[in-house]
Amino acid sequence: EPRNTEVEQPSTSAAESVHKQPFVIGVAGGAASGKTTVCDMIIEQLHDQRVVLVNQDSFYNNLTEEELARVHEYNFDHPDAFDTEQLLCAMEKLKHGQAVDIPKYDFKSYKNNVFPARRVNPSDVIILEGILIFHDLRVRELMNMKIFVDTDADVRLARRIRRDTVEKGRDIGMVLDQYSKFVKPAFDDFILPTKKYADIIIPRGGDNHVAIDLIVQHIRTKLGQHDLCKIYPNLYVIQSTFQI
């Protein structure tokens, strides 16, 4: 009987290749919505797993001299501000078990070649975080789970003002101009429309402990299935037969 034969004679290499694939989580949401807090909480609760965080910010394009001279007219919230090809290239390597050097981005000098770059090793879980991380279909297709952090606009603006003036040393007038000229329109035009791709929408971001607990439980279940595949390679075939 073909089905039994399949179960009894599994392809070990198929089981191995399935196991090696990391579990990729995408975390999107408006600027200052609390994405970083959500990611940190997931990482903290998965302390016994190999988890790595990749920020979309690391893939900001470097500005030309001309753009730097008129930086207040540059739209950092537009999809074209990011080098998505480079992000895809890094993810391709990580998925194939290779370490990658990810650039560090400096919000003060607007440069993404701050040395040394961050060495990222292949891991069991990769978290991809960024305002427009759901924008490109090819990046979305890498993800096993998509989370959208949904925080009210006034909360995001308040956090942004505090962060940009205190941490980035920017002038409040400039922060408000950038918000009304670029940040708010880009949220409406590019970020909010990607909410429909999310599997999970977290209201209130990092304050939502129940949502984080549920997400971590689900990830553990998925990783547990992978661990079982490692111990019992035959399980892979059973899994695919029953489409778990």
- Which of 41, 87, 90, 131 binds ligand CTP (CB under 6 A)? It is 131
Helix orientation angle between 12-20 and 234-242, rounded to the nearest 10 degrees:
80
Alpha helices in 113-208 (DSSP H): 137-140, 153-162, 172-178, 184-186
- Which of 61, 104, 107, 225 binds ligand CTP (CB under 6 A)? It is 107
> Is the separation of the CB atoms in 141 and 128 below 8 Å?
no
Q: Is 150 in the site for ligand CTP (CB under 6 A)?
A: no
Q: Identify which range of 6-14, 30-38, 135-143, 211-219 contacts ligand CTP by CB under 6 A.
A: 30-38
Q: Is 22 in the site for ligand CTP (CB under 6 A)?
A: no
What are the phi and psi torsion angles at 243 (to 5°)?
Answer: 50, 55
Closer CB to ligand CTP, residue 107 or residue 197? 107
Residues 63-82 that bind ligand CTP (CB under 6 A): 76-77
Q: Is 183 in the site for ligand CTP (CB under 6 A)?
A: yes
Nearest to 49 by CA among 33, 25, 16: 25
Cα within 13 Å of Cα(130), Cβ side: 26
Closer CB to ligand CTP, residue 201 or residue 223? 201
Binding residues for ligand CTP, rule: CB under 6 A, are 29, 31-36, 57, 60, 76-77, 107, 110, 131, 183
